[in-house]
Amino acid sequence: NSKALVKLVTTVYYGTIVHTPALNQLQVFPNCAVVVGSSGSIINLIPNCSSISDVFTKYNPELDQKSTKIVDISGNPYQFFFPGFVDTHIHAPQFPNAGIFGNSTLLDWLDTYTFPLEASFENLHKANKIYSRVVHQTLQNGTTTASYFATIHPEATKLLSNICFKNGQRALIGRVCMDDNSPDFYSESHEDMKTNTVDVCNHIKQLGATTDQECDAIILPTLTPRFAPSCTAKTLAWLGDFREEKKLHVQSHVSENIDEIKLVSSLFPDASCYTGVYEDYNLLGAKTVLAHGVHLTPLEISILHKNQSGISHCPISNSSLTSGETRVRQLLNSGIKVSLGTDMSGGFSPSILSSARQAHLVSRHLAMKTKKEEDKLSVNDVLYLATKGGAQCLDMESTIGDFGKGKKWECQLVDLKSTGSQIDIFDWQLPDYLIQRGGYHLKIAGRELLNSDDYFQDFHGVGLS
């Protein structure tokens, strides 16, 4: 894989553009020219350009063709540009456990597999090795924005933020807070929780300040109480105050598993419900994303709605750990923001495309149970959740998620050309990703992973083949 850094002024991307600006709406613009400025923002989007020279003569006569880089894919009917995927819930340190879960369910899975692995990230050499692989793997799978859970370790967490920054991946980075109901070998004191949380937030804030290239804050901190049972009331209260003071993002887990929900109600007997715990401690807002939400009650849905908080739907994890089926359509119809998370390693794959596939299938299992046709999510629905839904949940809708004017060009170059025989819902090979960041054009060549056949009917139906 080659990584090329080319200093740019302006770039014109020319070819087929596909995105999902609204739920169940897939827009396809053939022969579209996208003019991207040196800051990486989309200046103009011109559909149906008869030729690349038209862009300069007819539409943007002020553009100097000599100093403009052109990325022209118009000659390849199988290729198109698609917004980078947004993974709103992924545990970076759990990568080595991907696919390893046996017959466990959430609480014994945490004790058996997860806590021992995460505890080992005190070793910075290991953290560096695994985190580098995770960022590389997620980028290779088209994830240009990710919201990461790290571990309780401040130095390893800073390392993860450095690696994301260096590789141009937009990321929210969360040092996990755990000062209650956690094993002796993997927990922290309330005092350490405060010191280390502030330390990591400060580190992330100054990322990029040392480089001279123009670069906006692509790495942000996110407060990360692991889940209500892992935190004392004192810690939740401090995090709630800190969130409000610094206007920070928050991520956690909610209503994933029946035993977990029982545990929460025994630990927080005064709370109205699981989601109510986070509300009581002032942790819900438009920048809060809670993972799973498999067993949300109408009360919890109304609390999420009132606080404009989003849900990260993690269908691979929910199937693997037999947590259940999240009622995505019900959430969407209730006005809740919904996105996709790999939840690696509860989920076995670092690919949001795989999560989209699983969301598509799980919704059909749900429909078999509810007998409601509308519970079935379309291909367009899940592609929306994978991109714009993620942008909404992370409160980044004005920056990423689709190809609207003014948004960042954070994009995957998808190639539909079938080379294998495996039939799948999505005919989609591992993408290249293209980002313009701080005046630089980043491109990492994708490698083929997903073999396919002519089965991606929604795309074929709109004339891509």
Residues that bind ligand GUN (CB under 6 A): 91, 106, 110, 114, 226-227, 253, 256, 317, 343, 346
- CB 222 → ligand GUN: shortest distance, Å? 15
Assess 410 for contact with Fe ion (CB under 5 A).
no
Chain CA centroid to CA 258, Å: 26
Q: How far is the CB of 199 from Fe ion (least distance, A)?
A: 23
Structure tokens at 334: 């209730």
Q: Which one, 100 or 445, has the nearer CB to ligand GUN?
A: 100
Q: Pick the closer one to ligand GUN by CB: 11 or 114.
A: 114
Which single residue brings its beta carbon nearest to ligand GUN?
A: 346
Residue 327: name its binding partner from Fe ion, ligand GUN, none (Cβ under 5 to 8 Å by kind).
none
Q: Tokens for 409? A: 């060009």
The CB-of-255 to Fe ion minimum distance in angstroms stands at 13
Q: What does 375 interact with, of ligand GUN, Fe ion, none (CB < 5 to 8 A by kind)?
A: none
Q: Which residue is nearest to Fe ion (CB)?
A: 343
Dist CA 218 CA 435 (whole Å): 12
CB of 92 or CB of 435, closer to ligand GUN = 92
Nearest distance from residue 277's CB to Fe ion, in Å?
17
The residues, ordered by sequence, that sit 6+ positions from 270 with a Cβ below 8 Å of its Cβ are 280
Q: How far is the CB of 104 from ligand GUN (least distance, A)?
A: 11
Per-residue x/- mask for Fe ion, residues 285 to 324, rule CB under 5 A? ------x---------------------------------
Stretch of 137-145, 326-334, 342-350, 418-426 contacting Fe ion, by CB under 5 A: 342-350
Residue that is written with structure tokens 């609390």 in the block: 303
For 204, 212, 251, 338, 430, the CA distances from 308, given in Å and listed in that order, are: 25, 37, 14, 11, 33
How far apart CA 283 and CA 289 sit, in angstroms, is 10
Of 312, 344, 352, nearest to 328 by C-alpha is: 312
Phi-psi map region of 292: left, alpha, beta (phi>0 left; psi -120 to 50 alpha): left
Tokens at 39, concatenated: 């800051």
Residue type, 134: V
Which is closer to Fe ion, CB of 83 or CB of 221?
Answer: 221
Nearer to Fe ion, 46 or 291 (CB): 291
| Residue 165: C-alpha distances to residues 52, 208, 437 (Å) | 33, 8, 10
CB of 97 to ligand GUN, least distance (A): 10
- Bridge partners, residue 177, by sequence: 225
Closer residue to Fe ion in complex, CB, 168/347: 347
Choose from ligand GUN, Fe ion, none: what does 428 bind? Cβ within 5-8 Å by kind: none
Indicate the burial class of 368 (C-beta count within 10 angstroms; 0-12, 13-18, 19 or more): exposed
Q: How far is the CB of 205 from Fe ion (least distance, A)?
A: 25
Partner from ligand GUN, Fe ion, none contacting 114, C-beta within 5 to 8 A by type? ligand GUN
The residue range among 69-77, 194-202, 338-346, 386-394 that interacts with Fe ion, by the rule CB under 5 A, is: 338-346
Q: How far is CA 266 from the centre of its chain?
A: 32
Give the integer Cα–Cα distance in Å for 319 and 331: 19
Helix axes 190-205 and 154-167, enclosed angle (nearest 10): 20
Provide φ and ψ at 40, rounded to 5°.
90, 10
Closer of 148 and 459 to ligand GUN (Cβ): 148
Q: Does 343 bind Fe ion (CB under 5 A)?
A: yes
Tell the smallest beta-carbon distance from residue 436 to ligand GUN (Å): 34
CB closer to Fe ion out of 260 and 402? 260
Distance (Å, whole) CA 432 – CA 442: 10
Which of 167/182 has CB closer to ligand GUN?
Answer: 182
| Interface contacts to Fe ion, rule CB under 5 A | 291, 343
